[in-house]
A and B are shown apart, each in its own frame.
Chain A
Amino acid sequence: MKAALFVTCLADLFYPEVGQSVVEVLERLGVEVSFPLRQTCCGQVSYNSGYQQDSIRAAKHFVEVFEAEVEGGADVVIPSGSCAAMIRIHYPELLEGEPEWHRRLLNLRAHVFEFSEYVANKVGVERLRQLSPALAAKAAYHRSCHMSRQLGVAEEPLKVLSCIDGLELVPFFQEDACCGFGGTFAVKMPQISLAMGEEKIRHLKDSGAELFLTSDMGCCMHLGGQASRLGVNLPFKHVAQVLVEGVQAK
């Protein structure tokens, strides 16, 4: 199996360990990983702010960079439900008016996966279990809105995490409520964003978890950054990171 990693702008810049963990997990699962160096960002920032024409540039660039990988037999793997939703759900709308680009995108789209979706549905959790990951910890999983509502990928990360021996996932109040990140919303409407973040941080802390997991580093950057400013300890990790820890701890 071959996977081309689309690392996302946030992981590239601020959380390279997330990309590194994805590479390590996939390689341990026997997947050959490539990283096309010409890749950039999915363009969601522009799209959500109303600048569709700017995000069309990103969409076309994505198609150009990744279609060769897919033709070469690779799937595109993304450690972000939000960026995966941008590509799978919004790129087709953006390129609708340009039939040739639209056709090229659709060829590619069926091969685009969010990380835990890829592990659960393409690789299969049996393979993951063979690595017998183990990590004794009480964790709360924060689901991102774009991943669970738009992309419709809600169960896969839980399925993947359930393979880690000793990892206890604890429930918390209002699990599906938005954390308040929302991309540019966080800086355009900071007070509302912070009010939402504060409530989410409270619910996460009340869960009694010691570790906080996510599939979207945008939520993590917002919640973690707010918690840090408030002096609250909220150690966030991407699903791929705990998998690596679990495998290494074995």
Chain B
Amino acid sequence: MSGGQTTFQERIAQGLKNSYRRRVMGSTQNRMRANRDQVFAEWGNLEEWRERAREIRQHTIEHLDAYLEAFANAVRRAGGQVHFAADKESANRYILEVAQRHGVRTVVKSKSMVSEELEVNQALLGAGITPYETDLGEFIVQLAGERPYHIVGPAIHKTREEIRQLFSELAGEELPSDARALTAFARQWLRDKFFAAEMGISGCNFGVAQSGAVVLVSNEGNARLTTTLPKVHVVVMGMERLVPTWEDLDVMVSLLTRYATGQKIISYLTVIQGPRAVGHQDGPEELHVVIVDNGRSQLLGTRYQEALHCIRCGNCSNVCPVFRHIGGHAYGGVYNGPIGAVLSPLMAKGTERRQWMELAYASSLCGACTDACPVKIPLHDYLVQLRHDAAREGLAPWGERLLSTLFGWSTAQPALYEMGQAVIRQMAGWSGSAGFGWGPLGAWTQYRDLPQTPAQTFRQWWKSRAEEGAHGRE
């Protein structure tokens, strides 16, 4: 994962500058929220569902080693092959080996955030293999040469006109700006790719440990084609994506579809258990399941372990007021929004961690994300904790450190505290002009007026009142 050449502040400025996109994102968030509110109202007992889901995730992650073993064994029993990939390099090496063994020239892919994380497409291209994204949103961002803007809606930031231009370029003719016509074009253009591809790569929403089943949740039918037409199917999955049983899957899928898209039921729930069996009509000849760590195990046994409970519904981004204004690309990583701000530094390798720590400051700590999480990950508490880690690791500016120390002392020393009050009163009194003042005060007055400094502080008023009262009693 890498933010590229730009700094976080530059990406924030870029995001904020795009007022059209901000308006679109705002209305998208509003619409998604309205849909979800309605679905939840019909459903009822939302808090019980969330608590049950949290328990399932907690139990699974606490016993992840055992469930991984059970899952891998079950996949093998069903005729699949399993590869545990410690990192991105190991995963891509394995995928390329399989591809080369089968003389693969083109690959069709259904939506997978893990494959974004692994940069599988780049690895394939490097080996002369052409990958085609077949999820409509992923197809659009692939053509645009961008990263997904949102975990669930990779291209929600693209206008119809932008999509029309991308598709027209591909078609070699001007396409009409009609949504139906544009999707029809994508469908038709991709159809041949499905038939030609020798390999299909999919993600995995859930792996059922009990049976070794890979479960995919999708709305476009492309996942079905990706996983059945090519002769080789490679699943890339995060190592935390397991549920113990079918009953647990029921709970998790019920929450995922409602939280991700506000749907009571998804269009396609695909369950894959092994490759094509003898006597079966369809399915791939080979099934490979690549189980990816890539930094995930760094969270195990830490206070951040619950971040592994995430089921990638993207709802934290849907309610986040910061995401609303800066957009998904400002985060700079594969995962964005509140969960991205948490996962990016925690999954990063060695010194890469440093560059992701600043994401934790891009939050007003309003807690909307934590409330909106189907599995109750304490997202905003984690952001505070990450700031604590940053301070401890010396990543925060020394001036800030000094101010906090002084402030800390003054909160325990009333005399010092009152002196501090006098200083701030004095400075605030002078700061009639914009941008006046040092440090945080200057940063405040640059954009906002300070309230007028009152004649007395409250404590001065209280003291004088008490004195008057005492005189009155005399």
Interface of A toward B, CB cutoff 8 Å: 7, 11-20, 35, 37-41, 43, 45-55, 57-58, 60-61, 145-146, 149-150, 174, 176-178, 180-196, 199, 221-222, 224-226, 228-229
Contacts and interface: CB of A to CB of B under 8 A. Distances in A.
A46 B326 contact: no
A187 B463 CA distance: 33
Given A178-B368, A182-B364, A191-B12, A53 B448 contact: no
Interface SS of A by simple majority: helix
B461 A145 contact: no
A74 B9 CA distance: 48
Given A48-B387, A61-B412, A229 B448 contact: yes
B315 to A, nearest CB: 15
Interface of B: 12-13, 16, 22, 26, 30, 321-322, 325-326, 361-368, 370-371, 384, 386-392, 396, 400-401, 404-405, 407-414, 417, 421, 424-425, 428, 434, 440, 443-444, 446-451, 453-454, 456-463
In this complex, the member of B362, B384, B428 whose beta carbon has the largest number of chain A beta carbons within 10 angstroms is B384
Given A13-B457, A43-B408, A48-B365, A190 B443 contact: yes
A49 B386 CA distance: 10
Contacts, number: 190
A124 B367 CA distance: 29
Contact of B364 (A46, A181, A226): A181
A196 B364 contact: yes
A231 to B, nearest CB: 10
B34 to A, nearest CB: 11
B361 A189 contact: yes
30 contacts: A11-B458, A14-B453, A16-B461, A18-B458, A35-B459, A37-B459, A38-B414, A40-B412, A43-B408, A46-B408, A49-B396, A50-B384, A54-B407, A58-B411, A146-B367, A149-B366, A149-B368, A149-B370, A150-B367, A177-B321, A178-B368, A182-B364, A182-B365, A183-B365, A185-B361, A186-B448, A190-B443, A192-B322, A225-B450, A226-B448
The 4 closest A-B CB pairs, nearest first, are A54-B408, A182-B364, A50-B387, A225-B448
B459 A12 contact: yes
Given A19-B458, A187-B444, A178 B408 contact: no
Given A45-B407, A225-B451, A229-B449, A185 B457 contact: no
Contacts of B457: 12-13, 16
Nearest to A148: B367
A20 B411 contact: no
B418 to A, nearest CB: 9
Given A20-B458, A49-B400, A229-B447, A149 B361 contact: no
B23 to A, nearest CB: 10
Contacts of B364: 145, 178, 180-182, 185, 193, 196
Contacts of A54: 404-405, 407-408, 411
B26 to A, nearest CB: 8
A190 B446 contact: yes
B451 A14 contact: yes
A39 B454 CA distance: 20
B404 A222 contact: no
A58 B413 CA distance: 9
Contact of B417 (A16, A40, A196): A40
Interface SS of B by simple majority: helix
A51 B398 CA distance: 12
Nearest to A46: B404
B182 to A, nearest CB: 31
Contacts of A190: 443, 446-447
Contacts of A40: 410-414, 417
A53 B413 CA distance: 15
Contacts of A188: 361, 443
Nearest to A12: B458
A196 B447 CA distance: 13
Contacts of A196: 321-322, 325, 364
Given A61-B412, A183-B365, A50 B458 contact: no
A53 B451 CA distance: 30
B151 to A, nearest CB: 20
A196 B364 CA distance: 10
A43 B407 CA distance: 8
Contacts of A193: 364
Contacts of B362: 189, 192
Contact of B388 (A14, A45, A50, A189): A50
A61 B414 CA distance: 9
Contact of B12 (A43, A180, A185, A189): A189
Contacts of B401: 51
Contacts of B387: 48-50
B391 A12 contact: no
A51 B408 contact: yes
A13 B412 contact: no
B321 A13 contact: no
Contact of B444 (A58, A176, A186): A186
A188 B403 CA distance: 14
A13 B417 contact: no
A58 B459 contact: no
B447 A194 contact: yes
A38 B392 CA distance: 30
Given A182-B366, A185-B363, A191-B13, A15 B451 contact: yes
A192 B361 CA distance: 11
B391 A50 contact: yes
